[in-house]
């Protein structure tokens, strides 16, 4: 989710809002100050709109789409500080996307309220690689069944590294009653900004796009895929200090939507 609260207007460096990340949500006590953000690219001049390096601004390719299903992100606090996080791309394309920060001891009250809302049929997206929750595992057909019952399917994505996602899944009792929807796909990651443990490990935006496609929201999936490719190419080129002179195929499709 792109939000000016997470970026210092003077330094263009990612930062968190004090009310969410600088205080412990369970006690309200201030946390020790974070070390200065020194990830690669932290001193690059960034666009105030898309937060990508100005060399290859993503703003000309911004696009939105409609979908029957919703996406909710339960994001590890550390992900808010990473400019390479792709969860924000989902919110750019699908404005109804909800973003929650995960804390082990203090679940987000709005998330709890939405999970209890009968309008929605939430599925926590997670691999089915352990036997202790096998009875909760469902297939993509459950999404169609939710639609047929007049409910809005929701893909609840655990936004973080694989280790962080597993911790969120295991340490969040309010997720225990939700059906588990594993992503089954032969698709390999195209993400080039972080090194995955396996080519089969898709980034957050790729997971959302594939679920949307499998669940019947093909147009939204295509727009998100194109926007992700534009982000991926723009950021990778900026790391090499190269200007993209001619729009890529994905960029051209995004521009055509505006025409």
Confidence grade of residue 18 (pLDDT, cut at 50, 70, 90): very low
pLDDT digits (tens, 9 = 90+) for 28-57: 545 544 444 454 545 688 998 898 999 999
Going through 147-225 in order, the beta strands assigned E by DSSP cover 152-159, 180-181
In the chain, the largest separation of any two C-alpha atoms, in whole Å, equals: 52
39 touches 82 (CB < 8 A) = yes
Q: Are 100 and 75 in contact (CB under 8 A)?
A: yes
Q: Is the pLDDT of residue 133 over 90?
A: yes
Count the neighbouring beta carbons within 10 Å of the beta carbon of residue 257: 14
The vertex-196 CA angle with 211 and 14, nearest 5°, equals 85
Q: What is the pLDDT of residues 154-198, one digit of tens each?
A: 999 999 988 999 999 999 999 999 999 999 998 888 887 777 656
Residue 80: pLDDT band (50, 70, 90) is confident
Tell me the whole-structure pTM to 2 decimals: 0.83
pLDDT, residue 12, reads 36
| DSSP reduced 3-state for 70 | strand
Judge whether 14 and 83 are in contact, CB under 8 Å. yes
């Amino acid at each position: 989710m792109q939000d000016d609260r997470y970026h210092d207007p003077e330094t263009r460096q990612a930062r968190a809002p004090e009310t969410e990340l600088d205080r412990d949500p369970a006690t309200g006590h201030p946390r020790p100050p974070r070390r200065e953000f020194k990830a690669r690219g932290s001193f690059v001049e960034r666009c105030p709109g898309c937060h990508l390096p100005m060399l290859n601004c993503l703003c000309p390719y911004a696009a939105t789409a409609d979908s029957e299903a919703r996406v909710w992100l339960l994001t590890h606090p550390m992900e808010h500080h990473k400019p390479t996080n792709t969860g924000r791309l989902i919110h750019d394309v699908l404005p109804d996307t909800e973003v929650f920060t995960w804390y082990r001891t203090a679940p987000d009250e709005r998330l709890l309220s939405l999970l209890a809302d009968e309008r929605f049929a939430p599925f926590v997206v997670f691999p089915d690689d352990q036997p202790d929750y096998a009875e909760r595992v469902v297939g993509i057909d459950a999404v169609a069944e939710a639609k047929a019952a007049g409910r809005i399917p929701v893909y609840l994505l655990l936004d973080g590294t694989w280790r962080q996602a597993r911790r969120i899944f295991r340490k969040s009792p309010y997720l225990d009653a939700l059906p588990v929807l594993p992503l089954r796909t032969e698709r390999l990651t195209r993400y080039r900004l972080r090194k995955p443990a396996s080519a089969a490990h898709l980034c957050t935006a790729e997971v959302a796009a594939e679920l949307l496609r499998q669940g019947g929201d093909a147009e939204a999936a295509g727009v998100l895929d194109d926007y992700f490719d534009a982000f991926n190419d723009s950021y990778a080129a900026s790391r090499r200090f190269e200007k993209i002179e001619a729009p890529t195929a994905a960029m051209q499709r995004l521009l055509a939507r505006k025409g």
